[in-house]
Structure 1
Amino acid sequence: MSAGRSTSVTVVMVICMAVFLLWSATGASSSGWDFAHATFYGDMSGGETMQGACGYGNLFDQGYGLQTTALSTALFNNGLTCGACYQIRCHDDPQWCLDGTIRVTATNFCPPNYSKPDGNWCNPPLKHFDLSQPMFRKIAEYKAGIVPVVYRRVPCVKTGGIKFEFQGNPYWILVLVYNVAGAGDVMDVKIKGSRTDWIQMTRNWGQNWQTSTQLVGQSLSFRVTTSDGKMVESDNVAPDNWQFGQTYEGKQFRM
């Protein structure tokens, strides 16, 4: 939640919550857009955008920058939605809304707080975006603290190829898959050594994928499949002298 909220903002939150529940009950939607709310965290420099529950590291180095959001439980889907992209705009609040639309990538989780069932916007079943402050201030006034929004999934536009960051040890390889265009959220990863067939990797958490197959000394290829069923194969992404702690670049999904 945003810093610097006053008591009056709490009153606004209660009113907004009631309106949101009314929308949910009627199943309101408009031209493919759905309803949610948005808050912000951090300062204008990005603050907490350096780490996240999706497994991404330095979001600036990885190309996500400030164009990021944390998702409530209803949207996060246990990490399956990590990497998805959304278009968001403030909705139906003339006092606080600005005439702007943003595009952000899901890189983090906004955890529920069940000790505050009527006051935490990330509690199920609420749909909520916790934005970096610079993104929030593109669509709403800072003093608002929280605003109603409409949102929709959009294709991710990324520069360069899919990135594969290697961690682990000779007996266990953990690969962070990021900078994925198109649907953005990775649903399946397979790895192939130069002396193996294709090996199914399993999701460790967020967009970290693992295998216990010993592949040190082999060049490595990947098949990455996103939630829309599209697959990209990147052959020989990592040379046979690849190293843990290094990042390698493969092909990218075509838009």
Structure 2
Amino acid sequence: MEAFKKLAVLLKALMLMFFRATLVDAVQPWATTSWGNAHATFYGGNDASGTMGGACGYGNLYSRGYGTATTALSNGLFNNGLTCGACFTLVCKLDGSRWCYSGGKQITVTATNACPPGSEGGWCDPPRLHFDLSYPMFQKLAQPVGGVIPVRYKRVPCVKQGGIRMSLYGNPWFDYVLVHNVAGGGDVAAVSIKGSKTNWVVMHQNWGQYWSASSYLVGQALSFKVTLGNGKSIVFWDIAPKNWQFGQTYEADNNQNF
């Protein structure tokens, strides 16, 4: 009986170890905060003009505050646009390419676009994990003549200037909102909107970081509840005053609690 009890304890311990290992292995590639392996290329021209727009919907990356410190993500990282706005630190693997600059310099970039299958010579094809960097960021890691380089990457908190921003589009019966300049986790997983005279309305991801709902909110101050991929939520009260207009961008007081 004693031997049986010891065996049962051992089996339980092994099951716990297996369960924990399974949890670790189940971390999605876009969410990992430990170093992982991927590859990187560059696109958009020497001045990064070709990186404007893109599958996240941010449009002009300069006016939105992202600049050239950006990357497109392969499908394995893009997560149907829900990784848009996330920040990653990359370092070129010195033992993997002779084009890496010495010293192990790191860069931090924000995900602003998708690198679709068939792009970059197949490097963006599933299930590959790939970063298609702006040219200015790639050349901080390696000589551009290298074309494609092996990198180590991990998720890091985003540091942004100013508060979270909501750009309002659509029409009186269709709320169409671009969420951007998100600090902390950076990636928006859910959004709800509330007028000063209404209850909360759940919005749905339209594409990239555009979120939509069908409700009439004209003439009401607007509040938003934003949830990130890490589960953190915060309510931004009365971002837009009751006389808000379509085509305008409204900014919250802070980003700090993300």
Query: Which category of TM-score, normalised to the shorter sequence, fits these structures?
Result: 0.7 to 0.9
Provide the residue aligned with 2:96 in structure 1.
93
Q: CA deviation at 1:43?
A: 2.2
Q: TM-score, normalised by structure 2?
A: 0.83
Superposition pairs of residues 22-41 of structure 1, within 5 angstroms = 32-41=34-43
Superposition pairs of residues 176-255 of structure 1, within 5 angstroms = 176-250=178-252, 251-254=254-257
Superposition pairs of residues 1-255 of structure 1, within 5 angstroms = 32-91=34-93, 92-93=95-96, 95-98=98-101, 99=103, 100-113=105-118, 119-250=121-252, 251-254=254-257
Q: 1:115-155 deviations in whole A, cap 9, x for unaligned?
A: x9xx4000000000000000000000011011000000000
Instruction: Please tell me the residue identity of whatever aligns with 1:103.
Output: T
Structure 1: any 5+ residue segments left out of the alignment?
Answer: 1-30
Instruction: Please tell me the residue identity of whatever aligns with 1:220.
Output: L
Q: Is the 8 A contact 1:232 1:253 kept in 2?
A: no
Indicate the structure (1 or 2) with the bigger Cα radius of gyration: 2
Q: CA deviation at 1:48?
A: 1.5
Structure 2: any 5+ residue segments left out of the alignment?
Answer: 1-32
Q: CA deviation at 1:77?
A: 1.0
Query: C-alpha distance in 2, partners of 1:94/1:35?
Result: 14
Instruction: Please tell me the residue identity of whatever aligns with 2:238.
Output: N
- SS of the residue corresponding to residue 166 of structure 2 reads strand
- SS of the residue corresponding to residue 225 of structure 1 reads strand
Q: TM-score, normalised by structure 1?
A: 0.84
Q: CA deviation at 1:173?
A: 1.2
Hey, which bits of structure 1, 4+ residues long, moved more than 3 A? none
- SS of the residue corresponding to residue 137 of structure 1 reads helix
- SS of the residue corresponding to residue 108 of structure 1 reads strand
Q: Is the 8 A contact 2:34 2:155 kept in 1?
A: no
Aligned positions, number: 222
Provide the residue aligned with 1:25 in structure 2.
none
- SS of the residue corresponding to residue 122 of structure 2 reads coil
- The 3 A distance-change label for structure 1 pair 132 and 203 is same
Q: CA deviation at 1:94?
A: 5.0
Q: Is the 8 A contact 2:234 2:257 kept in 1?
A: no
Q: CA deviation at 1:93?
A: 3.3
Q: CA deviation at 1:95?
A: 1.6
- The 3 A distance-change label for structure 1 pair 74 and 94 is closer
Q: 1:176-219 deviations in whole A, cap 9, x for unaligned?
A: 00000111000111111010011111110111011110101101
Instruction: Please tell me the residue identity of whatever aligns with 2:123.
Output: W
